Amino acid sequence: MGQKVWLNGELVDREDAKISVFDHGLLYGDGVFEGIRSYGGRVFRLKEHIRRLFDSANGIRLTVPMTADEVTKAVTDTLQANGLKDAYIRVVVTRGVGTLGLDPNRCRSPNVFIITDKIELYPRELYENGLEIITAATMRNHPNAVNPRIKSLNYLNNILAKIEAIDAGTLEAVMLNHQGFVAECTGDNLFIVRDGLLFTPPIEAGILEGITRDEILAIAREAKIEIREENLTRYDLYVADECFLTGTAAEVVPVVRIDGRQIGDGHPGPVTKRLAEKFHRRTRS
């Protein structure tokens, strides 16, 4: 059975999942998306993902031509059509076909498509041994430009930082905000552990309000780990006892070296391991 893609109300073969070159999602990055995971056939935090999708759409004045319940059903239908239980799900809403001008009012109707597939963002050994990252020179977008809480189709800012990471021989890069504080990585939120306390940049630092980030915060509270959401500098990263990244695709991945500096003892730390294990059990229970 070939891969099926949900496109504007129909499940079509992958080869037939096509939209016009005049779609403003392609021409201008005008649209929004969500990356979602399923475990054992159950979609993880689907309600929260769909709410964020609609919030992102509202943020760019894009009307999703479906209700939240209809999107939910489309996601589950696409999973079932592809016979997938453990999968990555991409839900995309574009502005739709329009003219070569910027005017969104000339777009006839939004396009919606859903792709379900498997994904492994990092090699398995990095979850066991830890990841090395750098600090990117590319700055995170200013919150008063395109607000980073909007998960839009324009990821060029993140891609430029990702290129810096790849050029440096690593897979991920920390991005600083316009004030010089740590924001997040190109595709993941960031946490550090110092003296048993868990630190992560606040939403106001210009980060995406990650679903996995929220889950880790909830797990930490249950585990009686003290949490501080406050501005962090590169120095705070360098002197941390532990560091890890979180994201829908990445889940929880430890970091053991930043800008050539060893973090802690150079191995994934006990708090990171504890939170990762609890997250793994929660998503697969």
Catalytic residues: 151
Using CA atoms of 177, 181, 184, 185 in order, give the dihedral in degrees to the nearest 10.
80
Measured in whole angstroms, how far is the alpha carbon of residue 190 from the centre of its chain?
A: 12
Q: In whole angstroms, how large is the CA radius of gyration of the chain?
A: 19
* Cα–Cα separations (whole angstroms), residue 44 to 9, 37, 240, 251: 23, 6, 30, 12
Backbone angles phi, psi at 228, to 5 degrees: -130, 115
Residue ranges in the chain assigned as alpha helix (H): 24-28, 46-59, 68-81, 124-129, 156-167, 211-222, 234-238, 270-284
Residue ranges in 60-169 assigned as alpha helix (H): 68-81, 124-129, 156-167
Q: How many CB atoms lie within 10 A of CB 41?
A: 13
Q: How many CB atoms lie within 10 A of CB 209?
A: 14
Q: How many CB atoms lie within 10 A of CB 144?
A: 8
